[in-house]
């Protein structure tokens, strides 16, 4: 059985609250889980100590037994010093799309044409 340490959403509409749970990877996000390992309340301030609460001892136990944390949970574990998260780098993600690049090229061409016309008029 593939185990995941992941978030299960709770709370009402526009007031999210998440439980950090150990679940079978095949079970639904808010469905059956094996153990509750902590919580995350994104509505609290980032420097609030109650924003992220983790049971580090149990999380270490389950990671030793093969549980894989999701990327968001791994960020919390890295901040708590429980696990190490490698920094990811995707330079392609920051680039604009094809249409935005075309619009930028058209705009640059218009600016260049206007500058050339102004230089010709000045002579």
| Paired sense of beta strands 52-54 and 15-24, if any | unpaired
Q: Are residues 70 and 37 in the same domain?
A: yes
Q: Are residues 5 and 33 in the same domain?
A: yes
Q: Are residues 68 and 95 in the same domain?
A: no
Q: Are residues 93 and 45 in the same domain?
A: no
Is the residue at 11 inside a domain?
Answer: yes
Contact in structure between 8 and 26 (CB atoms under 8 Å): no
Alpha-carbon Rg of the chain, whole angstroms?
24
Residue 99, domain extent = 89-122
Q: Are residues 105 and 68 in the same domain?
A: no
Q: Are residues 65 and 112 in the same domain?
A: no
Cross-strand partners of 17: 10
Report the CATH number at residue 46: 3.30.1320.10
Give per-10-residue mean pLDDT for the chain (123 aa). 91 94 90 92 93 93 93 92 85 88 94 89 76
Query: What total number of domains does the chain contain?
Result: 2
pLDDT at 109: 94
Whole-angstrom Cα distance, residue 41 to residue 91?
A: 30
pLDDT in tens, 74-87: 999 998 888 888 88
Is the residue at 97 inside a domain?
Answer: yes
Q: Are residues 58 and 3 in the same domain?
A: yes
pLDDT at 92: 84
Q: Are residues 54 and 100 in the same domain?
A: no
Query: What's this model's pTM, rounded to 2 decimal places?
Result: 0.70
pLDDT at 57: 93
Q: Are residues 93 and 74 in the same domain?
A: no
């Amino acid at each position: 059985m593939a185990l995941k340490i992941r978030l299960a959403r709770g709370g009402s509409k526009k007031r999210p609250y998440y439980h950090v749970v150990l679940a079978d990877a095949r079970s639904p996000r808010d469905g059956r889980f094996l153990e509750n390992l902590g919580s995350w309340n994104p509505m609290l301030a980032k420097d609030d100590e109650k924003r992220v609460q983790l049971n580090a001892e149990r999380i270490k136990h389950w990671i030793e037994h093969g549980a894989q944390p999701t990327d968001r949970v791994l960020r919390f574990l890295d901040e708590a010093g429980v696990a190490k998260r490698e920094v990811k780098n995707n330079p392609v993600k920051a680039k604009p799309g094809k249409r935005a690049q075309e619009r930028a090229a058209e705009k640059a061409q218009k600016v260049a044409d206007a500058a050339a016309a102004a230089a010709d008029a000045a002579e």
